[in-house]
């Protein structure tokens, strides 16, 4: 009897130790393991660059020091990777997804092809809160400012990744609300491919995060041909104080409400890192802690500075709340939103 009691006490203490310190519990799990980061865009773009930078440094912040690798899974405007994370990736804490958060709004609006429920993902965090802007070619459009663009009504071809991506959805909203004279050429596998199309003259601009422009479009910016003509955020970026905000061109309450709900909400959740539904909570907590630790890692910050990557993270709880807020869209706006973003 005493022997049975001792075994029960020992087992209880072991379980209690794991509960109190989940990191210790994962020492043996993550040791000698490889963690994949599935990026829903092609190599060379902002999502890929952030992920490869994080992958180089995150392992040392995870008990067991696992290896992190990046796998690109582009297609259907990030949707292939999102559906993969929900339906195929094992919920074991060894596969992290990274796709565009605009797909969460598309779920609310009933986009065909979505096979996930955003409420069931396990959220790790975001490395930066995107400041989306529109950049266009001065040479190929003859336009260098937003006022000039609207006045001339010059039709500009903007490259897009697909519905659910800011490259497509934000211009669509602005076309409907402020009369943005643009044509979206969609279907590229990532903004790296959009950049190639821009350089060849196939498209004349793109809606992209300022953070991605500075990191992955340095030549276009340095040449002076790429003009940043509009910010689509609620507040101006410190480096873009002379570039107008989209909201300043909205003339009606409906236009202002649509921009606020469908455009301003995009940035904070634009670059989510997440796990498949059902991933053990202790592994989620270990990766959340490691993610926020790597965001302060001097080596990562040095690499980010070299690559011109902005680091302004949200933790997993903050990201999860932001995703929940997206689903609080005013029901009165949903029919109009569906019409705009179809």
Q: Are residues 41 and 158 in the same domain?
A: no
Which pLDDT score, from 0 to 100, does residue 266 have? 84
Number of domains in the chain: 2
Query: What mean pLDDT comes out for the span 126-139?
Result: 96
In the block, tokens 């929900």 appear at 86
Domain final position from 262, 292, 310: 262
Query: What mean pLDDT comes out for the span 69-83?
Result: 96
Domain final position from 220, 246, 262: 262
Q: Are residues 110 and 138 in the same domain?
A: no
CA distance 340 to 330: 15
Which pLDDT score, from 0 to 100, does residue 6 have? 57
Q: Are residues 124 and 136 in the same domain?
A: no
Confidence of residue 329 (pLDDT cuts 50, 70, 90): confident
Which pLDDT score, from 0 to 100, does residue 12 have? 53
pTM for this model (two decimals):
0.80
Summarised one tens digit per residue, pLDDT across range 306-323 is 998 999 999 999 999 999
Which pLDDT score, from 0 to 100, does residue 267 have? 86
Summarised one tens digit per residue, pLDDT across range 173-204 is 999 999 999 999 999 999 999 999 999 999 99
Q: Are residues 230 and 193 in the same domain?
A: yes
Q: Are residues 54 and 113 in the same domain?
A: yes
Which pLDDT score, from 0 to 100, does residue 265 have? 84
Which pLDDT score, from 0 to 100, does residue 2 have? 57
Helix 46-58 and helix 298-307, axial crossing angle in degrees, nearest 10: 160
Which tokens go with 75? Answer: 């297609």
Q: Are residues 273 and 245 in the same domain?
A: no
Q: Are residues 121 and 138 in the same domain?
A: no
% residues pLDDT > 70 (the chain) = 92
Task: Choose among 339, 259, 309: nearest CA to 48.
Answer: 309
CA distance 340 to 180: 13
- Residue 220 burial (10 A CB sphere; 0-12, 13-18, 19+): middle
The pLDDT of residue 95 is above 90: yes
Q: Read off the CATH number of the domain in which 256 is found.
A: 3.40.190.10
Q: Are residues 100 and 165 in the same domain?
A: no
Q: Are residues 55 and 139 in the same domain?
A: no
Which tokens go with 33? Answer: 């393991």
Q: Are residues 137 and 249 in the same domain?
A: yes
Which tokens go with 129? Answer: 């809160």
Which pLDDT score, from 0 to 100, does residue 15 have? 47
Which pLDDT score, from 0 to 100, does residue 115 have? 98
The pLDDT of residue 85 is above 90: yes
Q: Are residues 149 and 76 in the same domain?
A: no
The pLDDT of residue 283 is above 70: yes
Domain final position from 222, 237, 262: 262
The pLDDT of residue 49 is above 60: yes
pLDDT, averaged across the chain = 92
Which is more confident, 20 or 55?
55
Residues near 233 by Cβ (< 8 Å), separated by ≥ 6? 131, 132, 245, 264, 267
Q: Read off the CATH number of the domain in which 77 is found.
A: 3.40.190.150
Query: What mean pLDDT comes out for the span 2-28?
Result: 53
Residues linked to residue 156 through DSSP beta bridges, in sequence order:
182
Which pLDDT score, from 0 to 100, does residue 25 have? 53
Which pLDDT score, from 0 to 100, does residue 5 have? 52
Query: What mean pLDDT comes out for the span 155-167?
Result: 94
Task: Give a three-class secondary structure readout of 68-98.
Answer: EEEEECCCCCCHHHHHHHHHCCCCCCCEEEE
The pLDDT of residue 302 is above 90: yes
Query: What mean pLDDT comes out for the span 213-239?
Result: 94
Query: What mean pLDDT comes out for the span 72-90?
Result: 96
Which pLDDT score, from 0 to 100, does residue 328 have? 87
Q: Are residues 154 and 202 in the same domain?
A: yes
Residue 296, domain extent: 2-128+269-340
Which pLDDT score, from 0 to 100, does residue 3 have? 59
């Amino acid at each position: 009897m005493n022997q049975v009691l001792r075994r029960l006490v020992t087992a209880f203490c072991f379980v209690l130790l794991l509960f109190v310190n989940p990191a210790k519990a994962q020492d043996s799990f993550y040791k000698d393991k490889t963690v994949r980061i599935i990026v829903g865009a092609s190599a060379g773009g902002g999502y890929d660059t952030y992920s490869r930078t994080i992958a180089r440094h995150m392992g040392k912040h995870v008990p067991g020091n696992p290896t992190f690798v990046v796998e690109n899974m582009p297609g259907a405007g990030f949707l292939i990777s999102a559906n993969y994370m929900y339906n195929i990736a094992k919920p074991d804490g060894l596969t992290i997804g990274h796709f565009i958060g605009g797909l969460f709004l598309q779920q609310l609006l009933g986009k065909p092809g979505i096979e996930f429920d955003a409420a069931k993902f396990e959220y790790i965090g975001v490395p930066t809160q995107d400041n989306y802007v529109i950049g266009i070619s001065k040479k190929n459009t003859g336009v260098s400012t937003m006022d000039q663009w609207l006045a001339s009504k010059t039709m500009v071809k903007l490259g897009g990744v697909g519905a659910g991506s800011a490259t497509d959805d934000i211009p669509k909203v602005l076309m409907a609300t402020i009369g943005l004279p643009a044509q979206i050429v969609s279907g590229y596998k990532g903004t790296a491919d959009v950049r190639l199309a821009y350089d060849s003259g196939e498209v004349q601009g793109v809606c992209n995060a300022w953070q991605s422009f500075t990191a992955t479009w340095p030549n276009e910016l340095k040449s002076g041909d790429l003009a940043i003509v509009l910010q689509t955020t609620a507040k101006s970026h410190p480096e873009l104080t002379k570039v107008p905000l989209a909201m300043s061109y909205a003339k009606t309450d409906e236009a202002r409400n649509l921009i606020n709900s469908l455009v301003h909400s995009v940035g904070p959740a634009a670059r989510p890192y997440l796990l498949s539904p059902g991933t053990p909570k202790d592994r989620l907590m270990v990766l959340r802690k490691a993610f926020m630790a790597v965001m302060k890692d001097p080596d990562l910050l040095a690499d980010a500075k070299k690559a011109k990557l902005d680091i302004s993270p949200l933790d997993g709880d903050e990201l999860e709340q932001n995703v929940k807020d997206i689903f609080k869209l005013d029901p009165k706006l949903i029919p109009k939103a569906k019409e705009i973003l179809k």
